[in-house]
Amino acid sequence: MGPVEWTVVVLVVGMRLALPLTIPYYPLPGVLACLILDAADQTIFQQFSGIALDRYQSYDKALDIYYLAITYLATMRNWTNRPAFRMSRFLYYYRLVGVVAFEISQVRLLLLIFPNTFEYFFIFYEAVRARWDTARLTGVAVVVATALIWVFIKLPQEWWIHIAKLDVTEAVKEHLFGVSADASWGEAIAASPLVLVALIAGAAAVVGIAYWIAHRFGPSEHHPLRLKADPLPPGLRGAELYRTARAASKLFDRSLLEKFLLTGLVSVIFAQMLELGAGNFRLGFVAVFVIVNAFVSQVLARRGHGWRSVATELAGMVAVNYGIVAVLVVLEYVLGLIDTDAPLGATAFFVFLFTVITVLFDRYHTVQRVRAALERGGTVDGASLRADSGA
């Protein structure tokens, strides 16, 4: 690839890595921006003949997993409706297990059995939160919304993509614009510009009708439009909060187990998609990372050090984790004690993604745990936090 192609790839991949980081703070706009970029990146790449697309599907699916992981972690930080959060956690891990099973077996039916309902459920909840008080969203409403999304949106979509193996963009180009599937979007629009106008008008009509139905038959709006995440209460802010909460926690608890489950499943998926080797070593690699990261955070907290922000914690843990990689590289290439059989560049990329997920899990699980303690009438530095350290 030439310099222009490399610039395009770096910019697009950089955006796909950066945009999900907006989701914890701007949930609905962040998710929609990620969906739009996910739909557009292949088209962008196709405009440059020097960009090879033979591994596009692996790259695309891997970054989808990264984006969905951050979306799930955002629910830990922001969602106060317990039934909705429990449903989101179930839907997320249900899909994650299904993707692992598919990557190992390559049985496409599994993607239909384990649909990605979580993504659209997240959009539903955040659309409700934008105008209404989510505390009034009952458990029954959560279950009904999930069932409707599962049956009428995700199952048809998963069947179309994974069973029928049909491509939406190709179908639109061939049947609506009347051009070949490999034609560029510029050529398609030039061939039938009125089709584009009709599609935009149709989309606007659907949005307008949906808004009218919600406004006409739904409850009255509880507040003006909110696209930014609700601010954390004063009791859930500040570096001292995170330091105190982590100092009061146990190293081996249920949160460590969930973090290992999350990072372990994600690592297996990444390894299969990116063709990294050494499966048994990989799981041990993840276990070491999870424990070392938790240990470092707890030791620093008990010695009075608190991370001032997510950015400073991310930078610090990136340094720790690449230090671990450096040690492993020495063990592999110099001493010959281990054999990871994994490309160094892919490993470095994986460690970065792993670090982001781990740091956000630690931050937002702390918010969730402290919020639960405060709701029970506990204190940030009291026995209530130590009693809740396994939550």
pLDDT, tens only, 131-149: 889 988 999 999 999 999 9
* In the predicted structure, residue 11 carries a pLDDT above the cut 70: yes
Q: Is the pLDDT of residue 349 over 90?
A: no
Q: How does pLDDT run across 27-43, given as a tens digit for each residue?
A: 999 999 999 998 888 87
Domains of the chain: which residue ranges?
A: 1-78, 232-381+387-391
Amino acid at 147: A
State yes or no: pLDDT of 150 exceeds 80. Answer: yes
Instruction: State the Cα–Cα distance between residues 76 and 366, nearest whole angstrom.
Output: 9
Task: Provide the residue type at 291 as one letter.
Answer: I
Instruction: State the pLDDT at residue 68.
Output: 94
Q: Phi-psi region for residue 304, left (φ > 0), alpha (ψ -120 to 50) or beta? A: left
Residue of 14, 15, 31, 36 whose CA lies nearest to 74: 31
Fill in the amino acid letter for 345: G
pLDDT at 382 over 50: no
Band of the pLDDT at 26, cuts 50, 70, 90?
Answer: very high
CA distance 243 to 107: 45
Report the mean per-residue pLDDT for the chain. Answer: 80
Q: Above 90 in pLDDT, residue 295?
A: no
Q: Global pTM?
A: 0.85
pLDDT score for 237: 67
- Mean per-residue pLDDT for 287-315? 71
Higher pLDDT: 209 or 85? It is 85
pLDDT band of residue 391 (cuts 50, 70, 90) is very low
Q: Give the separation between CA 180 and CA 194, rounded to whole angstroms.
A: 18
Of the spans 122-131, 219-228, 283-292, which averages the highest pLDDT? Answer: 122-131
**pLDDT score at 334:** 62
307-319 average pLDDT score: 80
Residue 250: pLDDT band with limits 50, 70, 90: low
Per-residue pLDDT, 134: 92
Of the two residues 56 and 352, the one the predictor is more confident about is 352
Mean pLDDT of 358-372: 84
